[in-house]
């Protein structure tokens, strides 16, 4: 106990267990949902769903203003992600928009 967890959205200290687990407070989780709804108008719903899940699981951590670390789906690897690019296998090929990039776009819009 005693370790303080800050909201990835607004930087406020989190206390509620659900907020700590998600890395975001209730208001910022609502902002993520709203941003995801906007992104969902132009991006495949499966990608948006995976991106929202990544954010909700605390798998997307901001390391610079527009750069994030994102966890691989099995949690064993960490990628560098920005809305424009990602170091994951799909992202490096550059052919497909990966869900990490979608998550980064959602987080920045939230």
Residue from the set 23, 25, 59, 83 that interacts with Zn ion by CB under 5 A: 25
Q: Is residue 28 a contact residue for Zn ion (CB under 5 A)?
A: yes
CB 60 within 8 A of CB 109: no
Judged by beta carbon, residue 39 or residue 98, the one nearer Zn ion is 98
Output the smallest distance, CB 1 to Zn ion, in A. 21
Q: How far is CA 51 from the centre of its chain?
A: 6
CB 108 within 8 A of CB 67: no
Residues 10 and 98: their CA atoms lie apart, in Å, by 25
Residues that bind Zn ion (CB under 5 A): 7, 9-10, 25, 28, 86, 88, 91, 98, 100
């Amino acid at each position: 106990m005693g370790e303080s967890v800050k909201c990835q959205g607004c930087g406020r200290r989190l206390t509620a267990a659900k907020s700590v687990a998600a890395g975001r407070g209730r208001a910022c989780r609502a902002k993520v949902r709203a941003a995801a709804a906007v992104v969902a108008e132009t991006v495949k719903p499966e990608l948006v769903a995976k991106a929202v899940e990544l954010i909700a699981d605390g798998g997307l951590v901001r390391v610079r203003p527009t750069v994030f670390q994102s966890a691989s789906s099995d949690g064993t690897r960490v990628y560098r992600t920005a809305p424009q690019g990602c170091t994951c296998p799909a992202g490096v090929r550059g052919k497909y928009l990966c869900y990490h990039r979608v998550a980064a776009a959602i987080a920045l819009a939230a």
